C-alpha cells in the first residue's frame, strides 16, 4: 500500500490512486486504535465530508469501521463546513472528527482530516502516531473490524446530527450583525460549489445583505476550476462586482475554511491584507485581550500593528495546527496564515472562512469606505508591506537539489540587500537588511515549491520576485 502521510492539513491524495477505500479503511482503523489507546473512544467521533467525489461513501465506510471498534459516529450532513465540524466537536465534547475534504486542492484529490478533542487539526505527535499505526496495519495485513451500516444504526452507533443551528448561534455572537443590517451592503458571493453553500449566503441573508450568488450548486469538478478562492479562480466574481456594482465580493473554498475577498473596484484583497485589516479592526472594535499569531510565511504588517498596540506576537511554522496549539495555551485576538485561513478570540482552533468573510463585511459596513482605502490608511500608519508568492510544480529531483542548495550554499545577499538572518522554522526564510524578506518552502498539501516574498514598496516587491525566480532555478 502507499504510505498514508498527514501533511499540514491531513492526508490528501489522488482519488483511485492512493486515496482508495482500502487505504481509507486502514487510516480510519488507525484513528480508532489511537482513540482507544488514549482512552477517548467512548466520547464518539464526528464524521463529515465536503462535496467531492465519493464523500458519502467514504463517510459510510468510516462509520462501519468505527462501529467495528465499538465507537459511536455523529454523522453530519455532507457539505458541512470544516469550521462547523470543529465547533460541534467542541460543543459535544467528542473524541475527534474525521472529515473527508481536500479543501482547495483540484477535483482529482480527496482527503481525510482528523481533528482531536481540542477541536484543532491533529498536532504533529498525533499524526506521526497515526502514520505509524496505519503502516503497521497495512504491513501486517490485519483484518480490520467492520460492522454493516444497518447494524450500526440498529445498535445506536450512528447518530445523525446537523450542527448548523448551533454554529449560526456562535457566529451571531462574534459578528456585529446590527452594523451589517444598517449598512445594506451589496455583495457578490462565490461559493465555488463548496460547503459555504447554505452557510455564508444564509448568514448574509439574515444580515439583510443584497446578494448575487455564484456557484451554489454541487459540482465535484468545481466548474473546471480549483476550489481555491484566489484571484485566478474568482474572475467571474470579480467581473460581477465591477459591473453590478457591489460594495464587496466574498468567497469560500471547497470546505469553507478559507476565504476570498474582492474590493468594490474588483481588486483582489490578499489573505495577508485581509488578516492585517481584520487585526486592526478587532483592536479598535473589541475589548479582546491576548496575543496575535501568524505563520512564518505571513506578512510582517501584523508585527508592525502588534508592536504599535503592545500586543504579543507569536510566529509558527506553516499549518493551522500550530496556531491551534498556541490557542490551547493562551488567549489570542486573531490567528492567521498567508494561505487564507484565520480564527479569532474565543472561537474554534481551526480556519473559519465563513466567519472571515462576515467579519470583512462588518469592516466595510462600519468603515463606510472600500477596502483599498482602509489598506492605504494602514500603510500610512504602519508602513508599506507588499507581499506575493510564486508556486512552482515539483519535478523529479527538484526538492532534493533545492534543499541541498539552501542548506549548503545559501545566498548572502538577495536583490542587492545583505541577508541579516536565516530562519529555518519552516523552509528557509531570508531576512534582509531593510526588514524585507524572501522564503522558500515545499507545500505540505500539494506537489509544489513555494517562494514567498515581502517588500516595503511595489518596486521592491518586483525586485524580490525576480530574485526569487533566480534563486529557485534548479
DSSP 406-469: HHHS--SEETTEEEEEEE-SSSEEEEETTS-EEEEEE-SSSSEEEEEEEESSHHHHHHHHHHHH
- Using only C-alpha atoms, the chain has a radius of gyration, in whole angstroms, of 22
Domain ranges of the chain: 11-162, 166-382, 386-471
pLDDT at 141: 86
pLDDT at 473: 86
42 close to 35: Cβ distance less than 8 angstroms: no
Pairwise CA distance, residues 238 & 249, whole Å:
7
pLDDT at 397: 86
Residue 275 in grid coordinates: 488578516
Pairwise CA distance, residues 97 & 83, whole Å:
11
Domain 166-382 CATH superfamily:
Alpha-D-Glucose-1,6-Bisphosphate, subunit A, domain 3 (3.40.120.10)
36: burial class by Cβ within 10 Å (0-12, 13-18, 19+)? middle
Cite the beta strand spans of 301-416 per DSSP E: 313-316, 332-337, 341-344, 386-393, 413-414
* Paired residues of 115 in beta bridges: 97, 121
Pairwise CA distance, residues 314 & 323, whole Å:
9
Pairwise CA distance, residues 196 & 213, whole Å:
11
200 close to 357: Cβ distance less than 8 angstroms: yes
Fold agreement (11-162, 386-471): no
Q: For 44, left (φ over 0), alpha (ψ -120 to 50), or beta?
A: left
Q: Nearest Cα to 183, choosing from 368, 19, 317? A: 368
- What CATH class is the domain 11-162? alpha beta
Q: How many CA atoms lie within 13 A of 256 on its CB side?
A: 30
Going from the C-alpha of 382 to that of each of 275, 293, 359, 456, 460, the distances in angstroms are 14, 18, 22, 11, 17
Helices (H) and strands (E) in the chain, counts: 16, 21
Q: Do you find a cis peptide bond into 82, omega within 30 degrees of 0? A: no
pLDDT at 1: 60
Helices 271-285 and 371-382: crossing angle in degrees, nearest 10, is 80
pLDDT digits (tens, 9 = 90+) for 360-382: 999 999 999 999 999 999 999 99
DSSP state of 143: P
Pairwise CA distance, residues 337 & 253, whole Å:
15
pLDDT at 415: 96
The CATH code of the domain at 386-471 is 3.30.310.50
pLDDT at 294: 98
3-class state of residue 329 by DSSP: coil
**To the nearest whole number, what is the mean pLDDT of the chain?**
96
Going from the C-alpha of 408 to that of each of 226, 297, 411, the distances in angstroms are 36, 22, 10
DSSP state of 318: S
- pLDDT, tens digit only, all 474 positions of the chain: 678 998 777 899 999 999 999 999 999 999 999 999 999 999 999 999 999 999 999 999 999 999 999 999 999 999 999 999 999 999 999 999 999 999 989 999 999 999 999 999 999 999 999 999 999 999 888 899 999 999 999 999 999 999 999 999 999 999 999 999 999 999 999 999 999 999 999 999 999 999 999 999 999 999 999 899 999 999 999 999 999 999 999 999 999 999 999 999 999 999 999 999 999 999 999 999 999 999 999 999 999 999 999 999 999 999 999 999 999 999 999 999 999 999 999 999 999 999 999 999 999 999 999 999 999 999 999 999 999 999 999 888 889 999 999 999 999 999 999 999 999 999 999 999 999 999 999 987 778 899 999 999 999 999 999 999 999 987
Amino acid at each position: 500500500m502507499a504510505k498514508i502521510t498527514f501533511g499540514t492539513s491531513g492526508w490528501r491524495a489522488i482519488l483511485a490512486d492512493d486515496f482508495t477505500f482500502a487505504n481509507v479503511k486502514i487510516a480510519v482503523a488507525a484513528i480508532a486504535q489511537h482513540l482507544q489507546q488514549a482512552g477517548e473512544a467512548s466520547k464518539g467521533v464526528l464524521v463529515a465530508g465536503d462535496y467531492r467525489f465519493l464523500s458519502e461513501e467514504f463517510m459510510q465506510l468510516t462509520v462501519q469501521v468505527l462501529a467495528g471498534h465499538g465507537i459511536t459516529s455523529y454523522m453530519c450532513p455532507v457539505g458541512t463546513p470544516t469550521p462547523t465540524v470543529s465547533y460541534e466537536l467542541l460543543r459535544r465534547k467528542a473524541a475527534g472528527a474525521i472529515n473527508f475534504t481536500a479543501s482547495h486542492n483540484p477535483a482529482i484529490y480527496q482527503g481525510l482530516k482528523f481533528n482531536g478533542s481540542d477541536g484543532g487539526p491533529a498536532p504533529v505527535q498525533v499524526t506521526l502516531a497515526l502514520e505509524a499505526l496505519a503502516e503497521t496495519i497495512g504491513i501486517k495485513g490485519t483484518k480490520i473490524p467492520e460492522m454493516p451500516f444497518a447494524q450500526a444504526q440498529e445498535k445506536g452507533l450512528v447518530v445523525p446530527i446537523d450542527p448548523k443551528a448551533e454554529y449560526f448561534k456562535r457566529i451571531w455572537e462574534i459578528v456585529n450583525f446590527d452594523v451589517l443590517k444598517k449598512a445594506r451592503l451589496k455583495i457578490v458571493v462565490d461559493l465555488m460549489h463548496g460547503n459555504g453553500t447554505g452557510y455564508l449566503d444564509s448568514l448574509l441573508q439574515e444580515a439583510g445583505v443584497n446578494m448575487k450568488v455564484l456557484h451554489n450548486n454541487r459540482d465535484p469538478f468545481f466548474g473546471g476550476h480549483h476550489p481555491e478562492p484566489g484571484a485566478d479562480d474568482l474572475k467571474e466574481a470579480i467581473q460581477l462586482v465591477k459591473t453590478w456594482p457591489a460594495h464587496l465580493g466574498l468567497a469560500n473554498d471547497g470546505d469553507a475554511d478559507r476565504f476570498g475577498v474582492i474590493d468594490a473596484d474588483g481588486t483582489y484583497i490578499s489573505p495577508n491584507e485581509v488578516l492585517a485589516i481584520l487585526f486592526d479592526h478587532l483592536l479598535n472594535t473589541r475589548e479582546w485581550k491576548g496575543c496575535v499569531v501568524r505563520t512564518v510565511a505571513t506578512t510582517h504588517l501584523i508585527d508592525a500593528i502588534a508592536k504599535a498596540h503592545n500586543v504579543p506576537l507569536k510566529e509558527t511554522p506553516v499549518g493551522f495546527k500550530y496556531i491551534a496549539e498556541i490557542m490551547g495555551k493562551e488567549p489570542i485576538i486573531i490567528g492567521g496564515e498567508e494561505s487564507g485561513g484565520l480564527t479569532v478570540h474565543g472561537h474554534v482552533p481551526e480556519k473559519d472562512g465563513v466567519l472571515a468573510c462576515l467579519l470583512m463585511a462588518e469592516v466595510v459596513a462600519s468603515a463606510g469606505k472600500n477596502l483599498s482605502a482602509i489598506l492605504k490608511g494602514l500603510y500610512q500608519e504602519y508602513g508599506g508591506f507588499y507581499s506575493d508568492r510564486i508556486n512552482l510544480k515539483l519535478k523529479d529531483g527538484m526538492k532534493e537539489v533545492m534543499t541541498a542548495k539552501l542548506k549548503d550554499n545559501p545566498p548572502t545577499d538577495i536583490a542587492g540587500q545583505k541577508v541579516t538572518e536565516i530562519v529555518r522554522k519552516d523552509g528557509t526564510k531570508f531576512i534582509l537588511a531593510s526588514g524585507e524578506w524572501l522564503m522558500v518552502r515545499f507545500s505540505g498539501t500539494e506537489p509544489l515549491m513555494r517562494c514567498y516574498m515581502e517588500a516595503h514598496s511595489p518596486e521592491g516587491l518586483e525586485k524580490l520576485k525576480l530574485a526569487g525566480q533566480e534563486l529557485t532555478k534548479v
